[in-house]
Structure 1
Amino acid sequence: MTNASATTALIIGGGIAGPVTAAALARVGVAPIVHEAYAGPADQLGAFLTVAPNGLAALRAVGMLDRVRAAASFDTTRTEFVNGDGRRLGLLGDESRLPPELRSVTITRAALQRAVTDAAIEQGVDFEYAKRLRSYTDEGNQVTATFTDGTSATGDVLLGADGIQSAVRRTLSPDAPRPTYTGLLGIGGYVPAVDIPPTPHETVRMVFGARAFFGYQRAPDGRTFWFANLGHSERSREEIAAQGDETWRDHALELFDGDLPELTRIMEAADPGQFRPRGTYDLLSLPRWHRGRVGLLGDAAHAVSPSSGQGASLAFEDAVELARQVRVHGGAPAALAAYERVRRDRVERIAAEGRRRGARKAGSAHPIALAIRDASMRLAFAMIRRFGSQRWITDYRTDLADTHDDAEASSSIPGSRP
């Protein structure tokens, strides 16, 4: 085993990727410090997401699995796809073959962030809040980060875990492509008990409506978690806010008029603020994820569409793989290069898959087009279910073991190559 020469890591971003990265690095002898722009954990941000088996396995490797599972709202081990009339198109995701602790969960973003932050603190990770990155300087043998409050910090490596609008990425690669709008706006949240048929046990229902896409699952406590994707031209946050939440609510109700009546009942029970949309973006490929002693991970390196269901899970994989490469290679530049080699093909393939899935969500004004869509999706889901062709995504495992080099890891772990 090679001892890690990077003894101090400056992690920019205290969302969900940063704390997991810090915990992983601490386990291989690095002293991480997480710098977060907000004044404290941003518990108010986001709605909910799913952590898949591959992401849960990564959390297990850093001692966070039990805490995250305890904070989860419910298990989501299957996905049922139907059209706007309620006719089933497919059923995927039987996870009975997996150990119970690695079966997918749905969790609010706030609960997930709190869980990984608290777990990291328990493991000795330091957090610095109200530290918004202004710039950094890589001096060759160390990196200095400067923050907007006038302070600075110096370490052996700097890691950008600061999301899709990464400030680290802008400095590392100013000519890198910008995130791409997927053509979809996202709305959603959760509502109290509403009079609709329950979703099947541990199953989220995904509805390909005539003009938009809807997903929902009823929690054991009676609440219904829901989201919708609406095909729409790109809008800035200011333009979205100016249109008003009630206007967006009326627009969503109109798009789903004629689809399953339970969709309307869910939306009618929702708070108007849940209809203020956010644009969905992805980032399929960057020319580089690292330069010198600076690297990127999570959405800063490879933002995937929410349609992939893999954003958080891929970030957790990144954290574990990066720490493993630090353990194997020691020096920060070598470890960052090896980490990128192992991770790039897999995440770019999943990002492309997420974009393809998203393209099916906008619906159509033409009945024939909808009939063709439904028929092709029934066939695709049947093939996936029969041959397990999506297991390369969720069966991926990485850990902190250093018994093999990065080339061996990339060929031995399922799904690490197209």
Structure 2
Amino acid sequence: MSTVRTAMVIGGGIAGPVTATALLKAGIDARLYEAYPGPSYNIGSGLALAPNGVAALDIIEAGEAVREIARPISKMGLSVGGKDIFMPGLSGLEPLQLVDRGELHRALHDRAVAAGVPIEYNKRLIDVVEDESGITARFADGSTATADALIGADGIRSTVRGLIDPDAPGPEYLNMLGFGAMIDYDGDIEPESMTFAFGKKAYYLYGATGEGQVMWGANLPHKEYLSLTAARAIPASHWLSILRETYAEDTPGGEFARRTTEEQLEVVGALHIMPSVPHWFRGRMALVGDAVHAPSNSSGQGASLAIESAIQVARCLRDLPTPEEAFATYERLRRGRVEAVAARAAKANHSKTLGPVGRKMMQLLAPVFVRMMDTEKTMGPEQRYRIDWDAPVYKELAKTA
């Protein structure tokens, strides 16, 4: 029987509200602490939730709210030299859900509040003190809080990760900046599709959202690292000028860039991945989401994996006697899965910054690659994964032994 009765969750993005809501469902009194003054709604452009991620949200009764604000994506394609090649989908699964990141944050925040999760803002974690009776968090405003366990869902620049292991690796910059926009577009785009396009100078993606609109995202090669704050400090007009020049010769990327206005442009800033983190937990602290695994956006699984981990850490704390045993089991259940996805995405990531010769080879080989691709073998294990919330954790452990 678990000795964990209370838990602190640090971070109010995607993984944090899901973790806190799942902990309450597991019978653990959870409280969420967010560093910013309020909910983080204005934090980026769109993302796709895979069927496994939406299924995990169903466990905390958040799946329907997300489906209501999302657009289904039933077809995935590649575009090389302006030619679209659509890949076969997986049978028997609901489509991917294309959702605005800010709206997703709002939906998960609202679900946590409705479930009874207390949320405190302006609480920037700076240190912890741990002993046999529990763990105490100290915040920048001088306040403290104590619980039986602490979960770090504080993103790719995680403070909790550094408290667990001061030598832990930090995020790796991909030499690309992210941008996105929702624009009016009356061109010929395959309905319910998401297309990954290899332009002449840079990679981009786009999806039809219905009602004459397209959501598109650009991965702009950029050697200089710029944080979100630094990138947003530069006028949107500057970035639009660069985007229009970069994608000028691409179809339909050039038209997307020309139609995007300064008001529509979402500046995401530096794109990162998290290298393998040696220590997912220490004592009464553990990590979930981007704080411990942030694959490239090429994976299409970043948010979904974060949601899965949030559910699983709550399940382990429910079923195991101590935080240490729960967190060790959680890592055992999750590490192999998330690192396999990251490895797959890393291969795709190299193709985003191809030179002229590489792009020509991609144009020649992409049709062959798509025809030979075994979608079930490549994507099936990722998207068909389901968490059995009601099953004791030891039953799932037996499958991994």
TM-score interval, normalised by the smaller of the two chains: over 0.9
Shift of residue 21, structure 1, vs aligned partner: 0.6
Find the aligned partners of 1:276 and 1:337 in 2 and give their Cα distance: 37
Shift of residue 410, structure 1, vs aligned partner: 3.4
Kindly indicate whether residue 386 of structure 2 is the aligned counterpart of residue 397 of structure 1: yes
Letter paired with 1:125: V
Match of 2:80 in 1: 83
Find the aligned partners of 2:376 and 2:234 in 1 and give their Cα distance: 46
TM-score (norm 2): 0.94
Find the aligned partners of 1:275 and 1:119 in 2 and give their Cα distance: 25
Match of 2:31 in 1: 33
Kindly indicate whether residue 225 of structure 2 is the aligned counterpart of residue 225 of structure 1: no
Shift of residue 244, structure 1, vs aligned partner: 4.0
Q: 1:257 aligns with which of 235, 244, 248?
A: 248
Letter paired with 1:293: R
Kindly indicate whether residue 158 of structure 2 is the aligned counterpart of residue 158 of structure 1: no
- Structure 1 residues 395 and 142: CA distance shift in structure 2, 3 A: same
Match of 2:287 in 1: 296
Kindly indicate whether residue 325 of structure 2 is the aligned counterpart of residue 334 of structure 1: yes
Shift of residue 96, structure 1, vs aligned partner: 4.7
Find the aligned partners of 2:306 and 2:358 in 1 and give their Cα distance: 36
Kindly indicate whether residue 214 of structure 2 is the aligned counterpart of residue 216 of structure 1: no
Q: Secondary structure at the match of 2:211?
A: coil
Q: Which range is displaced more, 275-284 or 212-221?
A: 275-284
Find the aligned partners of 1:25 and 1:117 in 2 and give their Cα distance: 15
- Structure 1 residues 320 and 381: CA distance shift in structure 2, 3 A: same
Find the aligned partners of 1:87 and 1:194 in 2 and give their Cα distance: 18
The 5-angstrom pairing of residues 314-329 of structure 1 reads 314-329=305-320
Q: CA RMSD in A?
A: 1.9
Letter paired with 2:136: T
Match of 2:276 in 1: 285
- Structure 1 residues 243 and 342: CA distance shift in structure 2, 3 A: same
Note if contact 1:284-1:352 (Cα within 8 Å) is conserved in structure 2.
Answer: no
- Structure 1 residues 409 and 40: CA distance shift in structure 2, 3 A: farther
Shift of residue 183, structure 1, vs aligned partner: 2.2
The 5-angstrom pairing of residues 106-255 of structure 1 reads 106-191=98-183, 193-197=184-188, 199-237=189-227, 240=231, 244-255=235-246
Find the aligned partners of 2:241 and 2:60 in 1 and give their Cα distance: 45
TM-score (norm 1): 0.90
Note if contact 1:49-1:107 (Cα within 8 Å) is conserved in structure 2.
Answer: yes
Match of 2:89 in 1: 94
Note if contact 1:244-1:276 (Cα within 8 Å) is conserved in structure 2.
Answer: no
Letter paired with 1:271: T
- Structure 1 residues 294 and 58: CA distance shift in structure 2, 3 A: same
Q: Secondary structure at the match of 1:390?
A: helix
- Structure 1 residues 332 and 230: CA distance shift in structure 2, 3 A: same
Find the aligned partners of 1:383 and 1:146 in 2 and give their Cα distance: 54
Match of 1:357 in 2: 348
Find the aligned partners of 1:284 and 1:314 in 2 and give their Cα distance: 15
Kindly indicate whether residue 261 of structure 2 is the aligned counterpart of residue 271 of structure 1: yes
Note if contact 1:256-1:263 (Cα within 8 Å) is conserved in structure 2.
Answer: yes
Count of aligned residue pairs for this structure pair: 398
Letter paired with 1:23: T
